[in-house]
Amino acid sequence: MRTQRIFWVSFAAFVLLLFVVPHPFISSDLGNTVLTVIAFLFGIIAGFYIVVTTTDYNSVKNILSAETAGWINLYDNVLTYDRPLAEKLSGLVDVYLRRNFDFEIIEYAEATASEYQAIVETVRSFPVKPELLPVYQIIRGIMHDISIARQQLTVLGARTLSRFQWAILLILAALFILSLYGLRTGTLFFDIVTLAISSAVVLVLLLIHYLDLYIWNERTFGFDIFENVFRAIGQLPYYPGESIADGRVRPKEKKYRVGVLMGPPGGERKIEVHTGT
Which tens digits make up the pLDDT trace of 134-175?
A: 999 999 999 999 999 999 888 887 777 888 999 999 999 999
- Model confidence at 258, in pLDDT bands (50, 70, 90)? very high
Would you say residue 231 has pLDDT above 90? yes
Average pLDDT of the residues in 128-134: 93
**Closest residue by Cα to residue 258 from 240, 236, 232, 234:** 240
Q: How far apart are CA 208 and CA 195, in angstroms?
A: 20
- pTM, 2 dp: 0.81
Are residues 182 and 34 in contact, defined by beta-carbon separation less than 8 angstroms? no
Would you say residue 277 has pLDDT above 60? no
Q: What is the mean pLDDT of the chain?
A: 88
**H/E element, 256:** strand 255-261
